[in-house]
Amino acid sequence: MSSTDGKRHIALDYRRKNRIKVYKTIVQTVILVCLAWLLVHSVFDIKKYEEPDKAGWSNKEGFIAISYFGLARTGSPNLIAKSRLDQHLQALYDQGYTTISQQDVLDFYNEGKPLPDKALFLSFEDGRNDSSLFSQPLLEKYNYKATMLSYAGKMGSKEQKFLQPKQLLGMTRNGYWELGSNGYRLAYINIYGKDGRYFEQLEEADFKDRKGVDIYNHYLMDFLRDEDGIPVENRSHMEKRINWDYDAIHDIYTEKLGFVPGVYMVMHANSLYNGMNRLVADVNSRNIHQLFTMHFNREGIAYNDSGDDLYNLTRVQPAPYWYTNHLLMKVFQDTGESVKYVIGDERRAEKWVTMGGVAEFDGNRIVLTSPPADKGMLYLKESDSFSDIRFTAKLAGNVVGNQSVYLRYDRNNDTFIRVSLIDNEVIVEQKVVGEDLVRIYPAPQDDAANSGQQLVQEADKANGQESNEGTGRETGQGTGRETGQGTERETGQETERETGQGTERETGQGSERETGQGSERETGQGSERETGQGAERETGQGAEQESVQGSGVEQEQYPINIQATRQVDITITGEQLTLVVDKELLADKLLVADSIEQGGIALQSAYSAANRHDTIYDGVFDDVAIVTAPADGSKSAQLYNNAYKGFAVVTNTLKKAVNAAMDWAIDTF
């Protein structure tokens, strides 16, 4: 049979054609079913939350509360990356944490009902679309329940980043979500600029630039004051102003949702019941008790015990830059319960000895998390006899913090040479036997100011592109942060106006003004409180807190939430050290002590005093590589290398490029 006949035969083979049609139909059907499943799942949210079996709950001690501001696909200075949130929730899930509902919290405090052994109250603040979009799959993955908080003033807003009533109600349908409130609005009062400018009140959209601000307060947290700190409203006016916001919360939620959410997290955290003006605190407290069933008033500590007040609960807000072990270290700090930290690549981890803190090995990255107010340290095994070497790495932790490299470290005699990046300043120190630590390279990095300014600009840009709620929350964290060292500076200089002249005005001229203008209510029943001993407390401690709120980040050289990657290249040969940072020669053949001849390599992380809100720090060391540096110039030999190699380099580069392109597309379109 000819080839032509064979082709004709195949063409006429109807059975074969039918089989092909069947195969195509099956493939098309499978594809359509998959697409339909995805469509139905996304539109109708078929998957439902599975309620835990509460019969085995026996915990009558307490629970942790964790709240996130917002999410982004790959993260930003103010928004946590979806992948990092996944890591956080995975770690909590692996620790055995079970999420609890608002009703569980109420029953725990009001009826003494038990909670799961490890109980977690999870929430997302500010009612952001991205929080719902990126967290929903994770809640389903871990069968976790969370509370979404919103601002009543954003109900009906055309801003696409905020969830609207229909969306909020839809989120609650399948059990993964409950609703809460951050209040009516995010607005600011009593704003004092460093250049002498004063604003009585600004809405969030008008208050994006914090750099020039010295003092400010949140809308519900004080009397309105003039540029001299003197109240411009009496008690009646203050109460009417604050009551209006709470009335609006009630009316808007009732109209839009059909109910007022039970959970409240006031802006600004840590102010109420903590030294603010008592009259202002009273009107807030009265409204909160009338409207809400519980109040997370405090921020900074995760653990709530059975003796806490249902209207003075606390939560912790993990910053976007917190690695998983940072969160676990914080949980350990607040609860005292042991946790199982994340190690990552155990093969890479085996090459190091942990001398402090905990380390995670993730590909080419080593994340060294310090214990609270202490140092994290790793020591490279079999490096005791290293002498003439070249060390290279990318230090990629937050700018505000301490990342150090130890060279020729003799653990027995405590001698070493140390190169540190502390709050964006490069420092070289040495320690010889029997002597104190000596700084041998004290000059700040030549471009530190420029790079720092760039980082500040990047933070401002990020804050502008995202929601001001995040920026406000940063300074909110500053409140707790600035009650130590920073407060002394402020009470010495700035609060001289508030507690010196200002107090004098409030207890003298100021209270005369209030008394004269009809504050008989204040100076009659409350006069002793306002103009006597109580005024010292309220205008002293309270004003101190105001200055803290406004100057929290400003008093630090750089924003605490900014990450930067610095390429460090150190060569030590004999008694000479050469240091290059970001391809810039900083120290050429710097003399070091001849008695420090050899020793091991160590990495260290430690928190900075500039970040008084968080005493845990993640040092990040990428692409750590060590080779010999022979004095005679002969060929070097590799001693250690944690960088990606071969195809992994291409894969990682491609992944970064794709992520950058997707982020650009999302931001642009």
Rounded Cα distance between 325 and 618, Å, is 9
> Which of the four pLDDT bands, split at 50, 70 and 90, describes residue 6?
low
Q: How many helices (H) and strands (E) does the chain have?
A: 21, 29
Range from 441-455, 546-560, 598-612 that averages highest in pLDDT = 598-612
- Token pair in block for residue 241: 């102003």
List helix spans (H) across 485-578.
Answer: 485-492, 495, 502-504, 510-516, 520-524, 527-531, 533-535, 542-551
Rounded Cα distance between 193 and 19, Å, is 79
> Taking the mean position of all CA atoms in its chain, how far away is CA 656?
23
pLDDT of residue 472: 36
Rounded Cα distance between 238 and 232, Å, is 9
Q: pLDDT of 391-449, one tens digit each?
A: 999 999 999 999 999 999 999 999 999 999 999 999 999 999 999 999 999 754 444 44
Angle at 414 between CA 413 and CA 419, to 5 degrees: 140
Amino acid at 648: A
Range from 467-476, 525-534, 616-625 that averages highest in pLDDT = 616-625
Best CA proximity match to 610, nearest among 564, 558, 565: 558
Q: Which CATH number fits domain 346-447+560-668: 2.60.120.560, 3.40.50.1360, 3.40.640.10, 3.40.30.10?
A: 2.60.120.560
CB contact set of 488 (below 8 Å; sequence gap of 6+): none
User: Mean pLDDT over residues 297-315, rounded?
Assistant: 98
List helix spans (H) across 62-149.
Answer: 82-95, 102-110, 129-142
User: Mean pLDDT over residues 43-56, rounded?
Assistant: 85
Q: Is the pLDDT reported for residue 180 higher than 80? A: yes
> Which of the four pLDDT bands, split at 50, 70 and 90, describes residue 388?
very high
| 89-98, 335-344, 474-483, 614-623: range with lowest mean pLDDT | 474-483
> Which of the four pLDDT bands, split at 50, 70 and 90, describes residue 23?
confident
- Token pair in block for residue 56: 């085995």
Amino acid at 560: I
Best CA proximity match to 373, nearest among 560, 562, 552, 613: 613
What DSSP assignment string belongs to 558-579?
Answer: S-TT-B--EEEEEEEETTEEEE
β-pair type (177-183, 263-264) = parallel
Percent of the chain with pLDDT over 90: 64
User: Mean pLDDT over residues 146-150, rounded?
Assistant: 99
User: Mean pLDDT over residues 9-21, rounded?
Assistant: 68
pTM of the predicted protein model? 0.79
What are residue 584's DSSP bridge partners?
581
Kindly state the helix (H) or strand (E) to which residue 218 belongs, with its residue range. strand 213-218
Q: pLDDT of 570-594, one tens digit each?
A: 999 999 999 999 999 999 999 999 9
β-pair type (62-68, 119-124) = parallel
For 54-335, CATH number? 3.20.20.370
Kindly state the helix (H) or strand (E) to which residue 618 belongs, with its residue range. strand 618-628
User: Mean pLDDT over residues 277-292, rounded?
Assistant: 97
Owner of token pair 């979009």: 133
CB contact set of 323 (below 8 Å; sequence gap of 6+): 84, 87, 360, 367, 369, 618, 620
Owner of token pair 């209510």: 521
pLDDT of residue 267: 84
pLDDT of residue 13: 66
Q: Is the pLDDT reported for residue 526 higher than 60? A: no
- Token pair in block for residue 607: 């928190």
Rounded Cα distance between 228 and 246, Å, is 29
Rounded Cα distance between 282 and 276, Å, is 10
> Which of the four pLDDT bands, split at 50, 70 and 90, describes residue 212?
confident
Backbone angles phi, psi at 53, to 5 degrees: -80, 105
Backbone angles phi, psi at 295, to 5 degrees: -140, 120
Q: Give residue 376's region: left, alpha or beta (phi > 0; psi -120 to 50).
A: beta
User: Mean pLDDT over residues 202-225, rounded?
Assistant: 87
Is the model more confident about 628 or about 19?
628
pLDDT of residue 35: 65
What are residue 578's DSSP bridge partners?
571
Q: Are 38 and 274 in contact (CB under 8 A)?
A: no
Q: What is the average pLDDT score of the chain?
A: 83
Helix, strand, coil % (nearest 5) of the chain? 40, 25, 35
* CB neighbour class for 473 (10 Å; exposed up to 12, middle 13-18, buried from 19): buried
pLDDT of residue 228: 92
Q: pLDDT of 257-284, one tens digit each?
A: 999 999 999 988 898 888 899 999 999 9
Angle at 478 between CA 477 and CA 480, to 5 degrees: 75
Is the model more confident about 534 or about 235?
235
User: Mean pLDDT over residues 97-107, rounded?
Assistant: 99
- Token pair in block for residue 210: 């914090």
User: Mean pLDDT over residues 357-380, rounded?
Assistant: 98
